[in-house]
Amino acid sequence: MQHFTLAIILGIVQASILADTLDTKIAIAVKAVNEDVINWRRDIHQHPELSNREFRTSALVSEHLLSLGLEVETGVAHTGVVAILRGGKPGPVIALRADMDALPVVEKTGLPYASEMKGQYQGIEVGVMHACGHDNHVAILMGAAQVLTSVKDELPGTVKFIFQPAEEGPPMGENGGAKMMIEEDVLSNPKVDAIIGLHIAQLSRVGTVLYRPLGFMASAQSFDIEITGSQTHGAQPWSGIDPIVVGTQIINSLQTIVSRQIDITKHPVVITIGRFEAGVRHNIVPGKALLSGTIRTFDAEVRTQVHDKIRRIVQQVAESQGATATIYIDSGAPVTYNDLALTTQLVPTLKEIYGEDQVMLTDRVGLAEDFSFFQERVPGFFFFIGGRPRDIPASEAIPNHSPFFYVDEGALPLGVHGMSRLAADYLRGRKGE
């Protein structure tokens, strides 16, 4: 009996020494690659590229991944790069994802490596800037690829690195992003068991992590409503059908979905009309009115219910006034939904690296993220890492997409360490306390 207990204790001690060895090797490798990560990130920041036009970024990424000896596939969903790292032992497949695209924003940070690039967006020449911080995501994942390659013999399983184009949405008339990568089978060969992604933000201070299990970021759809009435003189409205009055009734009725028809203690929903166009002159009742809006939900079933309710209100309010209406709701992005078991498994790793009190549960976020398409197919975990400098208070945080968006480079090694350890710990099946 005693021998048996001793054997168990020795086994535990041996296992923890082995684990520590890999953890230590990863920590050392993160430090070693840090200068490169900073340089890659500055280079990518200075050369931002719009969605589906990430040619230079993609070349930089694939060249690096090839230099590590990985199996690299390019041209996935236009400019995407996918690389496979096979560990020395059999095991599951974990995917790590970084998005690569920049935005049509003129940079105003004044940084020495600020972008002066120009690009074409919807036929117009625009400034281009990494105003959402995707330059950081690319550099972090390039670093993690190098770190994990350096310990590959000890990894029980496979890591798939996914460098994704067009997270901000492909240009009009084009496909792209996570959805297109999935259509091109990025989650097969080898089949991905789980996927991890991160976003950098000034929402949180450098050194901290924000996460939320289950519905984290919103599902977003845009919609367009066209109301057809009957044009007439503004002095004789009874001789026509006024689509402006019908439109206002539709707008008011749509707001009752959130205020009267959804259990808001459980399910936050936002319905916003952002555009209402009708008419050309004060004394003409126009024949048509156009409305556009956005819908945000945090649960797939609630999303379907809200869509049904919107359709019903639009049709029946128009009908009640003798008008007709058509509605088109786009497929948009699903809920960024963090798998509960995977989140529970991975959060202790983040706490170990960043510190117990630096990894915080956060509120839902009304923005959408196309990482959600991956999470519809396989269990996924998406989290925020802090990019706000320590001396800037939360009240002065610069939002993503601002021309002044700025990230503290201290976030980079933390990102590399986080991604590397999350992958290694997932493969090793390590669970938290």
Residues lying near Zn ion in the complex (CB under 5 A) are found at 132
Active-site annotation holds for 370: no
What count of Cα atoms within 13 Å lies in the side-chain half-sphere of residue 110? 0
| 114-143: burial string, b at 16+ Cβ within 10 Å, e else | bbebebebeeeebbbbbbbbbbbbbbbbbb
> Which of 167, 242, 299, 425 is the catalytic position?
167
Token pair for residue 199?
């976003």
Closest separation in Å from C-beta 402 to Zn ion: 11
Positive or negative torsion for Cα 352, 354, 355, 358: negative
Closest separation in Å from C-beta 152 to Zn ion: 29
What is the rounded distance in angstroms from the CA atom of residue 297 to the CA atom of residue 271?
A: 9
Closest separation in Å from C-beta 312 to Zn ion: 33
Toward Zn ion, which CB reaches closer, 128 or 132?
Answer: 132
What is the rounded distance in angstroms from the CA atom of residue 359 to the CA atom of residue 374?
A: 24
CB 98 within 8 A of CB 136: no
Active-site annotation holds for 425: no
Which residue, judged by CB position, is nearest to Zn ion in the bound state?
A: 132
Toward Zn ion, which CB reaches closer, 132 or 302?
Answer: 132
In this structure, the number of other CB atoms found within 10 A of the CB of residue 112 comes to: 7
CA distance readout (Å), 312 to 134, 307, 315, 317, 327? 39, 9, 5, 8, 10
What is the rounded distance in angstroms from the CA atom of residue 247 to the CA atom of residue 286?
A: 12
By annotation, the residues acting in catalysis are: 101, 167
